[in-house]
């Protein structure tokens, strides 16, 4: 392939889960997928063989402009503490902080991609009381800003692309990188928080295998139940952006398929939620209602739906397996 893009991947304050998510992307694996779309991974701290002086020399060449860089990916929050020095997270083998390296390399990159909610918004490391002063590249849980500032633009003129999620779907990461390499993504393809709209214009609720139970407001009461988890078990899929229930994760499964409530991990500040598996309510009505739905409509529709719930749906919602099979109603043949 004549025109290939170079990709540098750095890891800051993170668990490495975003890398784990993307490694098995595609039937051939991530390396083969990158190669197929013309992307050369020049270094990744977890998967590359190069270490020590060889890596530092290459980073310095990129910093000086001697070596061009098309895509810079950061996984993990940038730890700015203590007192704004960034010394909680120094790059191994150097006396420089990750904060310093990010600010030096980002302006040299054609495009900057924040991989995961930690790099995008601060994520788990920024959870209250945030002892390390963890921040995203261009946002924090409190709003725009981050370590690069709201006015930052890469050489392509793009702001930071936030592939949020904890961890993001591997398809979101790979398809974003492919779009960048092909020149098929621009500012208009991002939402207000910098997330690619190809996944951010969807809700996690879309495609959920529990949608029949949601429609009838037949709710699960225990984590093992098959019913909708919104009313009692803290599920935020009707409020969370992402098409994660419309595509499988490396072969199969999603959070809600596995019986775990959606925690809206693509959103800033999700890490500060308390009681992930319990739905906060006022007067018996969930505080977090589906996006775009007025409270009065939800209450009216919920009451109507519950009054029309078939016995099969109602009973199966409170069981860990189907206990009432589908059948014909009275008067049908």
Please report which residue ranges of the chain form alpha helices under DSSP H: 17-23, 30-36, 52-64, 98-105, 117-121, 170-182, 197-200, 211-215, 295-307, 311-317
User: Does 139 show up as a binding residue in the annotation?
Assistant: no
User: Does 80 show up as a binding residue in the annotation?
Assistant: no
Q: Is the peptide bond before 82 cis (omega within 30 degrees of 0)?
A: yes
Tokens, residue 65 = 């402009």
Q: Which of 162, 178, 144 is nearest to 241 (CA)?
A: 162
Helices 52-64 and 98-105 sit at what angle, rounded to 10 degrees? 40
3-state secondary structure of 316: helix
User: Does 25 show up as a binding residue in the annotation?
Assistant: no
User: Does 255 show up as a binding residue in the annotation?
Assistant: no
User: Does 73 show up as a binding residue in the annotation?
Assistant: no
CA distances from 206 to 73, 240, 241, 256, 302 (A): 28, 10, 10, 11, 18
User: Does 118 show up as a binding residue in the annotation?
Assistant: yes
| Residues 116 and 265: beta-carbon distance below 8 Å | no
Residues making up the binding site for [3Fe-4S] cluster: 244, 262, 265
Per the annotation, binding residues are 15, 18, 118, 166, 205, 208, 228, 235, 244, 262, 265
Binding residues for [4Fe-4S] cluster: 15, 18, 118, 166, 205, 208, 228, 235
């Amino acid at each position: 392939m004549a025109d290939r893009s170079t990709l540098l991947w750095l890891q800051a304050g993170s668990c490495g889960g975003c890398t784990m998510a993307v490694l098995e992307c595609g039937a051939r694996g991530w390396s083969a997928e990158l190669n197929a779309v013309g992307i050369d991974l020049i270094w990744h701290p977890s998967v590359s063989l190069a270490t020590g002086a060889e890596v530092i020399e290459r980073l310095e060449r990129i910093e000086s402009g001697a070596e061009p860089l098309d895509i810079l990916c950061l996984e993990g929050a940038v730890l700015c503490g203590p007192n704004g020095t960034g010394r909680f997270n120094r790059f191994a083998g150097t006396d420089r902080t990750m904060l310093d390296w990010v600010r030096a390399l980002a302006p040299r990159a054609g495009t900057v991609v924040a991989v995961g909610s930690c790099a995008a918004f601060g994520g788990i490391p920024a959870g209250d009381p945030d002892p390390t002063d963890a921040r995203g590249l261009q946002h924090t849980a409190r709003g725009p800003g981050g370590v690069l500032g709201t006015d930052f633009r890469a050489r392509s003129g793009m702001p930071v692309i936030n592939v949020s999620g904890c961890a993001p779907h591997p398809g979101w990461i790979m398809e974003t990188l492919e779009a960048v390499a092909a020149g098929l993504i621009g500012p208009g393809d991002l939402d207000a928080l910098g997330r690619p709209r190809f996944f951010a214009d969807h809700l996690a609720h879309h495609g959920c295998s529990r949608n029949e139970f949601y429609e009838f407001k037949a709710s699960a009461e225990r984590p093992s139940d098959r019913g909708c988890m919104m009313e009692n078990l803290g599920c935020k899929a009707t409020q969370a952006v992402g098409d994660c229930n419309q595509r499988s994760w490396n072969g199969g499964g999603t959070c809600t398929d596995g019986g775990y409530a959606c925690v809206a991990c693509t959103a800033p500040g999700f890490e500060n939620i308390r009681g992930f598996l319990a739905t906060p309510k006022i007067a018996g009505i969930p505080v977090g209602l589906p996006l775009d739905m007025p409270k009065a409509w939800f209450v009216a529709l919920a009451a109507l739906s519950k009054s029309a719930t078939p016995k099969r749906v109602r009973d199966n919602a409170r069981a860990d397996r189907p206990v009432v099979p589908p059948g014909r109603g009275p008067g049908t043949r």
